[in-house]
Amino acid sequence: MKAGGRSPAREGVSEVAANGAREGHAAAWGTTTVVGAAVPRVDGWERVTGTAVYPLDLQLPGMLYAAVLRCPHAHARVQRIDTSRAEGMPGVRAVLTGASPGADVPWFPQRGKGPLSKLFDPHCRYAGEEVAAVAATTVFQAREALAAIAVEYEVLPFVAEMEQALLPGAPSIHEGGNRQNETLRYQRGDVAKGFSEADAVVELSFQTACEIHTPMEVHGSVARWEGDTLTVWDTTQGVFAVRDALASALGLPLANVRVICPYMGGGFGSKLGLNKHTVIAALLARATARPVKLFLSREETFLCVGNRPPTRLTIKAGAKKDGTLVALEMKALGTGGAYPYLPTSGYLVADLYTCPNVAVEQDNVFINAGPGRPFRAPGYPPCSWALEQTIDALAEKLGMDPVELRLKNVPVVSQQRGGVPYTSTGLADCLRRGAEAFSWQAARGRARGKGHLRRGVGVAAGMWGYDGEPRATAFVSLFADGSAILNTGASDIGTGTKTVLAQVVAEELGIAPESVRIEHADTGTTQYAPASGGSQTVVANAPAVRAAAQEVRRELLEMAAAELGRPQTELRLAGGAVVTPEGTVHPFGSLKALVARQPLVGVGRRHPHPEGKAALPFVAQFAEVEVNTRTGEVRVLRMLGAQDSGRVMNQLTFENQVFGGIVMGVGFALTEARVVDRQTGTVVNANWHDYKIPTMKDCPPELTCLPVDPQDRECNTVGAKGLGEPATIPTAAAIANAVYHAVGIRVTTTPASPVQMAALLERHRQEG
Ligand code: MOS
């Protein structure tokens, strides 16, 4: 993939660093040298050479392998399990069912709510639920033994689609029926009045398909007991989150559970919390007094560790002649599969544009399908698919340029949060500068092509409304030779967290990022960090790391000032040395007090978010597509992501996130859909052959990342807002709008696959 326009270098910031300092807070950075640079991954070498030990690579002496027997039926009740034959199979060391000692574990699909299931629930609510597990000497023996477990099921009628869930006589998936909750409502102003004042109103209905995370690294755990202390190497985005839930599931003190994830190979939200297989591995390890490795197969990752559930959305939008939005309404039907989950978010409808009258209504039901789970910007891409196409249709009805219509309604405060101002709002710049860099006007005016290949361009805007929990602690230790250790509980989920945090230490201490060794993501030895999710990893951890490094810096400067007989304010740190205004260089190792005292240790904590402000990222993306009207194929020719995520911490990792988000959005728009067989209620494309994630050939050949850095000195002490999720929010809608521009067809259902497009094009021809 050609990195079309590389991100332009960040413009220097000349304002005084003290700007934005709050009590007890460090001053925000002004200009930085190491932070913002295109520093390659500090762990790139071990990742590409294969020497990095991921949990799947771990080999422990005497380790056993485990596998899980899963319910093949969409809805069933386990009547009887006979494990006797499996227990006698070669290599089998333990067979686990809900009746095994300690295995009757309640399961909480929603944090803070009551148990709705069990580790091995006899009531199986989707095809893929855990029924039994085996530990054996080899993984083949374990899987072989699964086939020898005899299970009698009472097969129950099932609900395959959400429209059926509330029909009279529909089989109940939970006691109390299939309604997940009362209708959720958000309202401000009066939408009826708003629509009555509108000069143009459009209403469209949309569907989005269920998308599967299926990260390259499958999910799994290695569990080992030493006495009553449990160590788990887990493929997780958050070691502390897994530790807490695992300790609670097994009734262990927090101090006795150690969760480690040295490297992880993608999760996208599916590895945010505790999984059943982790508890199963721990129980099997206890039963066999051996370490146990339990990894899911690729197929299992499609069934039971989460998805972005399907949605049905209707959006109505009304505006004045000049484009002023006067009313927005969304009605959503969603499902979390067989367990509670909120698949759609009304946040975009409520907050992306200034609009006095807004109403959002969401109904969520249970169906017999795998559980929904956070998936890169949970709730947002489906909502964006609907909202941003509706805005596009509204622009057409008003005879306005879609960029102009959006610019007309850029918000100045967070309306959803009761009118609090933003620390920075780059949305207008994303739209304006993005349009310019994309040559929007020229592309919009260009002929759409003759013959069967039609071109079009589209735009969509977005924002991300989550700013999570900013708690985080970090330690920084500096040695006299200029090397340092950063100790942080943060997980690097592939985004480059370690690299960015090393840059933060390097920036403060005047050393190279390569000189920073990192201890991370280990609840036994590193400091608390929230799970890496919600685009909060840098936002939560970088300020804590910076505070720790600053503490070291302060102490170092004190020592240097005393030893060199110069005031601290005259000294700066660079190249692993203290430098005087005359340019005399005193390497850290020449400071006697430091050599005697090393390492200097700083402890840094994250301060709360600024009060009375919202610190959120914004985005606008532009797409150019070519539609083959004979085959229905849609090719994305180029895309540009104009991203306001605050400070660019690292040019390379910033681009990675934007390009990765766009590619994921291409999959949502064009190729990805879980297919459930209506006759059996089972997933029929639970593999990488039939479930289509975009390959290199589907990726836009020209991708441009355009950071729109609003120089936010208030959001936190590093100035960065979230990036990973906003980068994928508007992608699919921008593509759909480009398809409309190319061929005049509004694709309301994802994915816009050739199969769907061919049918739409045919109907268009007949109606045309
Ligand atoms: Mo994300 S879906 O919060 O990993």
CATH of domain 55-70+76-156+215-301: 3.30.365.10
The string of DSSP codes covering 715-748 is SSSS-B---TTGGGSSHHHHHHHHHHHHHS----
- pLDDT of 26 reads 75
- pLDDT of 197 reads 98
- Between the CA of 532 and the centroid of ligand 1 the distance, in Å, is 7
- Between the CA of 375 and the centroid of ligand 1 the distance, in Å, is 5
Could you identify the atom of ligand 1 that is nearest to the CA of residue 269?
A: 4
- Between the CA of 479 and the centroid of ligand 1 the distance, in Å, is 36
Query: What are φ and ψ of residue 266, in 5° steps?
Result: 95, 140
Query: What are φ and ψ of residue 188, in 5° steps?
Result: -145, 150
Which residues, judged by CB distance below 6 Å to any ligand atom, belong to the binding site of ligand 1? 237, 268-269, 272, 374-376, 378, 533-534
- Between the CA of 377 and the centroid of ligand 1 the distance, in Å, is 6
- Between the CA of 535 and the centroid of ligand 1 the distance, in Å, is 7
Do 136 and 92 form a contact (C-beta atoms < 8 A)? yes
Please name the CATH architecture into which domain 311-467+613-766 falls.
2-Layer Sandwich (3.30)
**Closest residue to atom 4 of ligand 1, CA basis:** 269
- pLDDT of 112 reads 66
Domain 2-33+468-605 has CATH 3.30.365.10: yes
Could you identify the atom of ligand 1 that is nearest to the CA of residue 272?
A: 4
Q: Which residues contact 328 (CB under 8 A, 6 or more apart)?
A: 191, 315, 316, 317, 318, 349, 353, 355, 357, 358, 359, 387
- CA 360, CA 173: separation in Å to the nearest integer? 26
- Between the CA of 674 and the centroid of ligand 1 the distance, in Å, is 20
Could you identify the atom of ligand 1 that is nearest to the CA of residue 536?
A: 3
Could you identify the atom of ligand 1 that is nearest to the CA of residue 237?
A: 4
Tokens of 299: 């197929």
Nearest to 671 by CA among 689, 684, 683, 655: 689
Choose which residue among 213, 219, 376, 380 to substitute to test ligand 1 binding: the one with the highest number of ligand atoms within 8 A of its C-beta.
376
Alpha-carbon distances of 736 from 205, 390, 406, 458, rounded to whole Å: 14, 11, 17, 7
Low-confidence ranges of the chain (pLDDT < 50): 1-24
- Between the CA of 265 and the centroid of ligand 1 the distance, in Å, is 14
Rg, the chain, Cα only? 27
- CA 87, CA 193: separation in Å to the nearest integer? 69
CATH 3.30.365.10 positions along the chain are 2-33+468-605, 55-70+76-156+215-301, 311-467+613-766
- Cis amide linkage into residue 694, ω under 30° from 0: no
**pLDDT tens-digit profile of 371-420?**
999 999 999 999 999 999 999 999 999 999 999 999 999 999 999 999 99
Q: Which residues contact 256 (CB under 8 A, 6 or more apart)?
A: 228, 229, 230, 247
